[in-house]
A and B are shown apart, each in its own frame.
Chain A
Amino acid sequence: MTFIRLFNFKAQRNFQHFTFSLPSLLATLCVIMAKPVQALDANILYLQQNRPEQALLSNIFNEPADSGLPGAQLAIEDNSTTGRFLQHHYKLTHNQSPTAEPLVAAAVEWVQNGEGLIVANVASDTLLQLANHPALRAKAVIINTGSGDDSLRHQQCTTGLLHTAASRAMLADALAQLLVSKRWQKWFLMRGQRPEDSLFASAMKRAAKRFGASIVEDKTWSFNTDLRRVAQQEIPTFTRARAYDVVVVADELGDVGEYVPYNTWLPRPVAGTQGLTPTAWHRVVEQWGAIQLQNRFEDLAQRAMNGTDYATWLAVRVIGEAVTRTNTTAATDIYKYILSPEFEVAAFKGRKMNFRSWNGQMRQPIALVHPRALISQSPQEGFLHPHTDLDTLGYDKPEVNCSFKTQLD
């Protein structure tokens, strides 16, 4: 193929940028003059709780320490590009701490200063402290981007608390639909010993019941061997059972689970927190224009975008979309619009996305990936729902028992 570069494009682009900054400035001024619009300052508080490092058997791929933050920053950039044409100015105030107290204090001060938009990438107990604080409850919009805990979606939902993070039940249902549609209905469930492993295992058990799979074994890994050396001996013995179609692993931090694929007693696939994994976002998602978001994120953060980054990007974009369409930044108006039937946001998953009015969870398709490719996206074909098939993932209206209102006080 003849593909001749006539000159250096990079140099040319830099030159263009310098030369044409004046016309673009004029263009911006022109917009201001063409339509008299009211300028707005949209201030968003971003809270990040850094979780303590945990010792893991597999410590080759570490989670980035700043998961979430670059997502918020990118969405501020995206919102600001739109805001330029409407005189809407977005600003992120960023607060991080390993403990809850300073974060709660920052949120209270934020609201006392007349602001009301908060994005929280924090542990679920911190989230509950925020959402139930007398100064914040039903007074601010708090969007959860860091916790997948199901209790926040079906027992402890609170007016004002929304979730762009996918819940464990949504992830488990997404995986279960694929396994069931492939007729891999007999599951060997293998779980780690941490509390979150047990939450994921419970979500998988719930999903098995919903979609007609059966759990033929449910075993907890409790040995202290260094599996990097002996996985080949230990895992086959551990996964010995008469018949199963798939080994479902519940090991959220990636401890023993990484060593299960290819070491099972029966030659069966591995899915769950390792192997074939359900996730809100992954580097391999590139359809539906997602490659553009991936590229923008990597330019900004110098690393790949993960599920928490995505949920945080989405939270700030949701606020941006509401500000753009309603031309206001007041928490009560933003909240009301976000939960109204008019709200929808495009977020690179091939469907319009909006919130469940009964618990504030964002409906979204879930990707099923292995580390190098996208395998599928749930909901799977044929899993029907009277309202929208996206509600086949996670807690549906009849299963939810909490007092969640679609308007703030």
Chain B
Amino acid sequence: MIRSLALLLALGAGYATAKDLVYVSNEKDDTLSVIDLSTLTVVDTLEVGERPRGITFNKDQSKLFICASDSDAVQVMDAKTHKMLANLPSGEDPEQFALHPNDHHLYIANEDNAVVTIVDTETRTVIGQVDVGVEPEGMAASPDGNWVVNTSETTNMLHWIDAKTFELKDNILVGQRPRHVEFNKDGSLLWASAEIGGTVSVVDTAKRAIVKDITFKIPGVHPDKIQPVGVKLTEDGRYAFVALGPANHVAVVDAQTYQVKQYLLVGRRVWHLEFSSDQSKLLTTNGISGDVSVIDVDKLKVIKTIRVGRYPWGLAVKKVN
């Protein structure tokens, strides 16, 4: 009886929403906030290194990697116990990174010295460095593992790194201050946001050429304030969500036609985005208002705002069974 009741409860919770824990890096608090997605409340606050920004899990979600920018380190946290396991050598001022599909090559953007550092997370050694443009920031690995793409904010380029040889193969100019790059599920297209340019470029991976520049327009918001940063694509190929920074909106883009469908009002200076594990919800970090907005992906509605620390920056979602 008790067992079946527990089972029912578990099922009930599972039906309501994915049982995920969302980790949010608070840039000006040196902490991570942990949100339970089933209750939409902050359940823990963890102290980490200085100025945490990019965060990401390894494949089995046993470890969380944290860019502690002002500590000049990438920290490795045990995702269960929340104990710090190690610091990886990261190069100076690590801001964002991407974990290669091989699960152990971490590509780190070193914002202060124009390089991408490649670290083996198992041996904890630097296995390569690639010179890129001024202020490297966004980073993404293609699903087939062939490419790692980095954006440089002041050089305004996408840098294409061959993931086998760690060589720079191509550079393409995009709009002013490219921030974030995101491959679609099959890796055929790369979406790149340009914060000051106000555009999102869709790039053909095979040709390494821009196929579409998407622009945004919100009534009552000055065009200069529409500054795309975070981009996330649904796996089913339906939508691209674009965080528009100080415009305080997330744009919903039809990922097939590249038409902007609508704009969702979220918190102030919306920065990065992440899906729940079942992709039913999208979470946003709102830097200035210090909170996280939760968007229902099917209904395209903001359903809740959750207060976190100061200047929330990045997000990573852990699936809890």
A→B interface (CB under 8 Å):
1-7, 9, 12-13, 16-17, 20, 23-24, 26-28, 30-31, 34-35, 78, 81-82, 84-86, 289, 292, 295-296, 324-325, 344-346, 350-352, 388-389
B87 adjacent to A4 (CB under 8 Å): yes
Contacts of A324 in B (CB 8 A): 156, 173
B:171-189 near A, CB below 8 Å:
171, 173, 176-177
Which of A7, A16, A23, A352 interacts with B91 by CB under 8 Å?
A16
Q: How far is the CA of A81 from the CA of B155 in the complex (A)?
A: 7
Q: How far is the CA of A350 from the CA of B134 in the complex (A)?
A: 17
B→A interface (CB under 8 Å):
47-49, 71-73, 75, 83-84, 86-87, 89-93, 111-112, 114-115, 117, 124, 126, 128-131, 133-135, 152-157, 159, 166-171, 173, 176-177, 195-198, 222, 224-225, 227, 246
**Closest A-B pairs by Cβ, 5 of them:** A346-B196, A27-B168, A82-B155, A346-B176, A1-B47
Q: How far is the CA of A28 from the CA of B167 in the complex (A)?
A: 8
B171 adjacent to A85 (CB under 8 Å): yes
Contacts of A344 in B (CB 8 A): 176, 196-197
B84 adjacent to A346 (CB under 8 Å): no
Give the residue name and chain of the B residue nearest to A81 (CB): B134
A78 adjacent to B154 (CB under 8 Å): yes
Give the residue name and chain of the B residue nearest to A29 (CB): B167
A34 adjacent to B170 (CB under 8 Å): yes
Report the minimum CB–CB distance from B234 to chain A (whole Å): 29
B135 adjacent to A292 (CB under 8 Å): yes
A9-B129 CB under 8 A given contacts A78-B134, A295-B112, A346-B196 = no
Give the residue name and chain of the B residue nearest to A390 (CB): B224
Please give 15 more A-B residue pairs, beta carbons under 8 A apart, in addition to A85-B159, A351-B224.
A3-B75, A3-B84, A5-B87, A24-B115, A30-B167, A34-B169, A34-B170, A78-B155, A82-B157, A85-B133, A292-B154, A344-B197, A345-B176, A352-B196, A389-B222
B170 adjacent to A35 (CB under 8 Å): yes
Report the minimum CB–CB distance from A97 to chain B (whole Å): 31
A6 adjacent to B87 (CB under 8 Å): yes
B134 adjacent to A23 (CB under 8 Å): no
Report the minimum CB–CB distance from A235 to chain B (whole Å): 38
Contacts of B128 in A (CB 8 A): 20, 23
Report the minimum CB–CB distance from B73 to chain A (whole Å): 7
A selection of 9 A-B contacts at a CB cut-off of 8 Å is: A1-B48, A2-B83, A3-B49, A23-B130, A23-B166, A28-B131, A82-B156, A82-B157, A295-B93
B169 adjacent to A30 (CB under 8 Å): yes
B131 adjacent to A84 (CB under 8 Å): yes
Q: How far is the CA of A9 from the CA of B47 in the complex (A)?
A: 21
Contacts of A7 in B (CB 8 A): 89
Contacts of B90 in A (CB 8 A): 9
Q: How far is the CA of A405 from the CA of B310 in the complex (A)?
A: 48
Q: How far is the CA of A28 from the CA of B130 in the complex (A)?
A: 9
A81 adjacent to B133 (CB under 8 Å): yes
B198 adjacent to A352 (CB under 8 Å): yes
Q: How far is the CA of A12 from the CA of B72 in the complex (A)?
A: 12
Report the minimum CB–CB distance from A292 to chain B (whole Å): 5
Contacts of A17 in B (CB 8 A): 129
Q: How far is the CA of A70 from the CA of B118 in the complex (A)?
A: 32
Q: How far is the CA of A111 from the CA of B134 in the complex (A)?
A: 30
B176 adjacent to A20 (CB under 8 Å): no
Q: How far is the CA of A16 from the CA of B87 in the complex (A)?
A: 16
Contacts of B225 in A (CB 8 A): 351
Give the residue name and chain of the B residue nearest to A351 (CB): B224
Which of A2, A85, A289 interacts with B84 by CB under 8 Å?
A2
Which of B83, B131, B177 interacts with A24 by CB under 8 Å?
B131
Contacts of B129 in A (CB 8 A): 16-17, 20, 23-24
B169 adjacent to A352 (CB under 8 Å): no
Q: How far is the CA of A261 from the CA of B131 in the complex (A)?
A: 49
Q: How far is the CA of A345 from the CA of B176 in the complex (A)?
A: 7
Query: Chain A CB within 10 Å — which of B124, B129, B195 has the most?
Result: B129
Contacts of B49 in A (CB 8 A): 3
Give the residue name and chain of the A residue nearest to B47 (CB): A1
A28-B73 CB under 8 A given contacts A85-B157, A345-B176 = no
A27 adjacent to B111 (CB under 8 Å): no
Report the minimum CB–CB distance from B305 to chain A (whole Å): 23
B168 adjacent to A296 (CB under 8 Å): no
Contacts of A296 in B (CB 8 A): 112
A12-B133 CB under 8 A given contacts A27-B168, A28-B168, A78-B154 = no
Contacts of A325 in B (CB 8 A): 173
Give the residue name and chain of the A residue nearest to B225 (CB): A351
Q: How far is the CA of A253 from the CA of B133 in the complex (A)?
A: 38
Q: How far is the CA of A296 from the CA of B71 in the complex (A)?
A: 17
Contacts of B222 in A (CB 8 A): 389
Contacts of A388 in B (CB 8 A): 224
Q: How far is the CA of A7 from the CA of B86 in the complex (A)?
A: 10
